[in-house]
C-alpha cells in the first residue's frame, strides 16, 4: 500500500508538471524538484517494502535495486524529457519560451537537406568500419605470428588507443596536416603537390576524417582480434595442418568461424562508436566543413542545440538518432548473431 501510494503520488506529480509546462492548466510547480522529491520517496518506499515483505530475499534485492533506480533516474527520465522537448518550439534566443508544436520539428527535419547530408556522411563512416576491420585483422594475424620484435610492435600499435581522439586530431589535423608549416604538407609540396589542402575539398576532408578515426578504431579492434586468436586452441589448427589444409583453408574454415563472436562484438561496438565518438575529431578539425562534407548527425545535434540554441529541433534529431542506432543494433543482433558460432 505504501509503494502504491508513493508511486501514485509520483505519477500525479509528473502529469501535473507536464500539463503546467504546456500551459494546459494554470497551476503547477516552478521547477522539477517536486518530481525529484516524489521519486526519492517512491524509491525509499520500494526498497523498504522489499525488506518488509520478502525478508532475507528482499535484502539481497537491495544490492541491485538502488543501481536500477539510479539508472532509471539518470537514463530513462532524461530520455523521456528529451522526447518531450522534441515536440516543442523551444529556442533559447526567443523570448516566447517553450511552446508545444507537435511534429513540426520532425517535418522540418525531413525537408532539411543538411540533415540528409549528415545522414549520408554517417553511411560513409559506418562503411569504413569494414575496411578498418580488415586492416586490424591483418595486423592481429601478423602480431600473432612468430616475428622479430613482436612485443615492441604490439606496444607500438596500441599507442594510439591510449591517446584521446581529440589529442590525436589536434596533433595530426592541426599540426602535421597544417597547410603552411605542417611536415606532411611540406612533403606533399616537395613531391609536386603545389597547394596541398587536406581539408579544402569535401572528398579529401571526409577521407582524412576516416583516416584519423581509423587511428583509434584499428588498435582497439586489433587487440580484441588478437585476444581471440590467442584463445583458439593450437591443437585444432595443428590437426588441420596435419590433414593437409593450407593456410587459407585453415583460416576460412577454422580461424575466422571461431572468431565470429569477436567479429560480432566489434561490429556492434564500432557502429555505435562511429555514430558518436567521431564528433570529437570533427569538432576539433573541420567543424563540419567544408560544405558540410564532414558533418555527422551528432555534430548537427550539437550545432543546432548549443550553437543555434534551437533545443526543440536538436531534441527531435536526437530522437531520430536514437531510433537509427537502435534499428542498426537490432539488425546486427538478429542477422549477424545467427551466423555467429558460439
* Partner residues linked to 310 by β-bridges: 91
Question: Is residue 214 predicted with pLDDT exceeding 70?
Answer: yes
Q: What is the DSSP letter of 112?
A: -
Identify whether residues 223 and 121 lie together within a single domain: yes
> Does residue 130 share a domain with residue 52?
no
Q: CA-to-CA distance for 312 and 83, rounded, in angstroms?
A: 9
Mean pLDDT of 83-96: 83
Q: What is the pLDDT of residue 338?
A: 66
The residue behind cell 558518436 is: 276
Residue 306 to residue 314: CA distance in whole angstroms:
9
Q: Please list, in sequence order, all residues whose beta carbon lies within 8 angstroms of the beta carbon of residue 92, skipping any fewer than 6 positions away.
A: 309, 311
The pLDDT of residue 333: 77
Do the beta carbons of residue 100 and residue 310 sit within 8 Å? Answer: no
Chain centroid to Cα 101, Å, comes to: 29
Q: Name the pLDDT band for 337 (thresholds 50, 70, 90).
A: low
Report whether pLDDT(342) > 60. Answer: no
Cα-based distances in Å from 160 to 219, 286, 294: 7, 21, 22
Residues 274 and 196 reside in one and the same domain: yes
Predicted confidence (pLDDT) per residue in 16-51, tens digit: 887 887 677 777 777 778 888 888 888 888 888 888
Q: Is residue 94 part of a domain?
A: no
Show the cell assigned to 182.
605542417
Does residue 277 lie in a domain region? yes
The reply to whether 104 falls in a domain is no
Residue 200 has pLDDT above 60, yes or no: yes
pLDDT at 316: 92
More confident residue, 306 or 96: 306
Q: Which of these three, 85, 120, 139, is where a domain ends? A: 85
Mean pLDDT of the chain: 83
Place of cell 503546467: 20
- Residues 311, 90: contact at Cβ < 8 Å? yes
Which has the higher per-residue pLDDT, 44 or 168?
44
pTM of the entire predicted model: 0.80
Q: Cite the DSSP H helix spans in the chain.
A: 2-21, 33-54, 56-61, 65-71, 77-85, 104-110, 113-144, 150-158, 165-169, 183-190, 202-231, 234-242, 247-250, 256-258, 260-276, 278-285, 297-302, 311-331
120 and 257 assigned to the same domain: yes
| Domain match, 30 and 129 both | no
Is the separation of the CB atoms in 158 and 223 below 8 Å? yes
Please tell me the predicted confidence (pLDDT) of residue 69. Answer: 86
Report how far residue 104's alpha carbon sits from residue 87's, in angstroms, rounded to the nearest whole number: 7
The residue-averaged pLDDT of 312-326 equals 89
pLDDT-above-70 percentage for the chain: 97
Assign 98 a pLDDT band (cuts: 50, 70, 90).
confident
Same structural domain, 20 and 113? no
Q: Which of 81-85, 244-248, 283-287 is predicted least confidently?
A: 244-248
Q: Are residues 116 and 81 in the same domain?
A: no
Overall number of domains in the chain: 2
Residue range 254-294, pLDDT digits in tens: 888 888 888 888 888 888 888 887 888 888 888 887 888 88
Instruction: Identify which of 245, 212, 228, 235 has the alpha carbon closest to the alpha carbon of residue 137.
Output: 228
pLDDT number for residue 95: 74
Nearest to 299 by CA among 317, 312, 273: 317
33 and 160 co-located in one domain? no
Task: Evaluate if residue 339 carries a pLDDT over 70.
Answer: no
Between CA 323 and CA 204 the distance in angstroms is: 30
Q: What is the mean pLDDT of residues 45-63?
A: 85
In terms of domains, do 117 and 75 share one? no
In this prediction, residue 340 carries a pLDDT of 55
Residue 291 inside a domain? The answer is yes
* Domain coverage including residue 49: 2-85
The region that residue 94 occupies, defined by phi over 0 for left and psi between -120 and 50 for alpha, beta otherwise, is beta
d(CA 161, CA 155): 10
Amino acid at each position: 500500500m505504501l509503494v502504491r501510494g508513493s508511486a501514485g503520488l509520483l505519477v500525479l506529480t509528473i502529469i501535473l508538471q507536464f500539463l503546467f509546462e504546456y500551459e494546459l492548466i494554470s497551476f503547477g510547480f516552478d521547477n522539477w524538484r517536486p518530481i525529484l522529491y516524489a521519486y526519492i520517496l517512491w524509491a525509499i518506499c520500494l526498497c523498504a517494502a522489499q525488506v518488509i515483505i520478502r525478508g532475507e530475499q528482499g535484502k539481497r534485492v537491495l544490492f541491485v535495486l538502488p543501481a536500477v533506480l539510479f539508472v532509471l533516474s539518470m537514463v530513462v527520465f532524461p530520455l523521456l524529457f528529451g522526447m518531450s522537448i522534441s515536440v516543442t518550439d523551444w529556442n533559447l534566443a526567443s523570448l516566447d519560451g517553450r511552446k508545444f508544436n507537435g511534429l513540426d520539428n520532425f517535418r522540418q527535419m525531413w525537408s532539411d537537406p543538411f540533415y540528409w547530408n549528415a545522414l549520408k556522411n554517417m553511411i560513409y563512416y559506418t562503411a569504413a568500419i569494414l575496411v578498418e576491420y580488415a586492416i586490424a585483422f591483418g595486423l592481429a594475424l601478423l602480431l600473432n605470428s612468430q616475428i622479430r620484435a613482436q612485443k615492441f610492435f604490439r606496444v607500438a600499435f596500441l599507442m594510439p588507443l591510449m591517446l584521446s581522439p581529440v589529442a590525436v586530431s589536434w596533433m595530426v589535423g592541426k599540426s602535421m596536416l597544417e597547410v603552411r608549416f605542417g611536415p606532411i604538407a611540406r612533403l606533399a609540396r616537395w613531391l609536386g603537390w603545389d597547394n596541398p589542402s587536406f581539408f579544402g575539398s569535401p572528398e579529401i576532408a571526409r577521407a582524412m576524417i576516416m583516416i584519423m578515426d581509423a587511428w583509434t578504431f584499428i588498435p582497439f579492434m586489433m587487440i580484441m582480434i588478437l585476444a581471440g586468436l590467442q584463445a583458439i586452441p593450437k591443437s585444432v589448427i595443428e590437426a588441420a595442418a596435419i590433414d593437409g589444409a593450407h593456410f587459407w583453408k585453415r583460416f576460412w574454415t577454422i580461424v575466422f568461424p571461431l572468431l565470429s563472436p569477436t567479429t560480432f562484438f566489434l561490429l556492434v561496438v564500432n557502429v555505435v562508436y562511429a555514430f558518436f565518438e567521431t564528433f570529437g575529431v570533427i569538432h576539433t578539425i573541420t567543424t563540419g566543413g567544408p560544405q558540410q562534407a564532414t558533418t555527422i548527425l551528432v555534430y548537427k545535434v550539437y550545432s543546432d542545440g548549443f550553437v543555434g540554441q534551437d533545443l526543440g529541433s536538436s531534441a527531435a534529431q536526437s530522437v531520430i538518432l536514437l531510433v537509427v542506432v537502435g534499428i542498426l543494433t537490432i539488425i546486427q543482433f538478429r542477422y549477424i548473431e545467427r551466423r555467429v558460432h558460439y
